[in-house]
Amino acid sequence: MMEINTLIKDNPSFHVWGDGSPANFGVSNAVVQAIQSKLKPQSITLETGSGKSTFAFLLKGCQHISIAPDPGEGDRIKQYCIKNGLSINYTFIAESSAKVLPSLITTIPSLDFVFIDGAHRYPFAEIDYHFTEQKLKVGGYMVIDDVHMPSVKQLYRFLKKEKNWILDELVGNTAFFIKTGEEILVNDWQNQGINEYFLHYSNWRFKMISFIKAILGKK
Ligand SMILES: C[S@@+](CC[C@H](N)C(=O)[O-])C[C@H]1O[C@@H](n2cnc3c(N)ncnc32)[C@H](O)[C@@H]1O
């Protein structure tokens, strides 16, 4: 049976640079171990991007989906599993997450764990979040990598202020959020923590303007 230490020792290259030479954009060992520590066997899991992190899920026996545009990544991951005698319940979807998630998500009954580490340009992390959180169970994990990047940070700030998410752990620049309930919408944006100050400010501004108009006798 393959162990996580085999992967850490081998440090295989699942990615490629633009010229086709091998590359390794993998998450840190600490992130792989943190993901593993929060997973239950047979969990239904999905990640955008693929590579070293994929093995956190496969080694736990999860029913796992990776979405990444390069089919070579999927081939290399499967080859590495065969080489190490690892039997897997794995679907690799060779497509951009923004393209496939809107339809794919309608076919998935529920998710226990989501890892967002696909395209890092704005607004990919938010697109990946938007579609996957709809199927994430209450109590499930939404994990976002590279939250220090400006194109990802806004999602991190948003979730930190939401009432139905708690930040369980930050491992380096990888944020582990737990979903504590479904989002409760009140007239669209008003109930979102990120808008709280704006809501009070706009109410206060509205009252002030109404008051001044009343004094001036204007409608
Ligand atoms: C930083 S790497 C992910 C590293 C991976 N988590 C690991 O531990 O090895 C970024 C990943 O995003 C994928 N990617 C790039 N554009 C994408 C897109 N539009 N949709 C989904 N994944 C994308 C790349 O193919 C690559 O697998």
Taking only the tens place, the pLDDT of each residue in 158-197 is 999 999 999 999 999 999 999 999 998 888 999 999 998 8
Do 176 and 164 fall within a single domain? yes
DSSP per position, 50-103: -SHHHHHHHTTT-EEEEE-S-HHHHHHHHHHHHHTT---EEEEE-S-HHHHHHH
Do 169 and 207 fall within a single domain? no
Do 145 and 212 fall within a single domain? no
Do 101 and 11 fall within a single domain? yes
- pLDDT class for 110, splitting at 50, 70, 90? very high
Do 133 and 179 fall within a single domain? yes
Span 14-71, pLDDT tens digits: 999 999 999 999 999 999 999 999 999 899 999 999 999 999 999 999 999 999 999 9
pLDDT reported for residue 130: 98
What is the pTM for the complete model shown? 0.93
Q: Which residues line ligand 1 (CB under 6 A)?
A: 14-15, 25-27, 48-53, 67-70, 73, 96-97, 117-119
pLDDT surpassing 90 at residue 1: no
pLDDT surpassing 80 at residue 214: yes
Instruction: Give the distance (Å) from ligand 1 centre to CA of residue 125.
Output: 11
Do 70 and 144 fall within a single domain? yes
Instruction: Give the distance (Å) from ligand 1 centre to CA of residue 37.
Output: 22
Q: Spell out the residues 6+ positions from residue 40 whose beta carbon is closer than 8 angstroms to its own.
A: 60, 112
Do residues 30 and 11 touch, judged by C-beta distance below 8 A? no
Do 113 and 124 fall within a single domain? yes
In testing the pocket of ligand 1, which one of 35, 55, 67, 117 has its CB within 8 Å of the most ligand atoms? 117
Give Cα 46 distance to the centre of its chain.
9
Span 117-142, pLDDT tens digits: 999 999 999 999 999 999 999 999 99
Residue span of the structural domain in which 123 resides: 4-184
Do 118 and 198 fall within a single domain? no
The position carrying tokens 């850490």 is 8
Do 122 and 201 fall within a single domain? no
Instruction: Give the distance (Å) from ligand 1 centre to CA of residue 118.
Output: 4
Do residues 88 and 81 touch, judged by C-beta distance below 8 A? yes
Residue 210: CA atoms inside 13 Å, Cβ hemisphere, count?
A: 6
* CATH code, domain with 73: 3.40.50.150
Instruction: Give the distance (Å) from ligand 1 centre to CA of residue 15.
Output: 9
